[in-house]
Amino acid sequence: MSCEHLVCAQCAHPVIEGRCPLCRANRERMHNHGFAGLSPTLVVLLLIVLLFVSLAIKHLSGL
């Protein structure tokens, strides 16, 4: 969903312009991507680290 065509109920201006605190808060909320507030790059990095840790544990348990 995009805020380009949304109009703020408080100031009656496009939300994308961010003229009032409500516009700015909603624009930030809508543009916040990722998982649990984390950037997509950080999520991918954490998944890769988890993969390597699980492989290391599996390798050590097989010895």
Say how far apart CA 19 and CA 29 lie, in whole Å: 15
Q: Say what the pLDDT of residue 34 is.
A: 61
Residues 4-50 have pLDDT tens digits of: 788 888 999 988 888 999 988 888 887 766 666 677 788 899 999 99
Q: What is the DSSP string of the chain?
A: --STT-B-TTT-SBGGG--SHHHHHHHHHHH--SBTTB-HHHHHHHHHHHHHHHHHHHHHHT-
Confidence of residue 3 (pLDDT cuts 50, 70, 90): low
For the whole model, what pTM was predicted?
A: 0.47
Q: Say what the pLDDT of residue 28 is.
A: 83
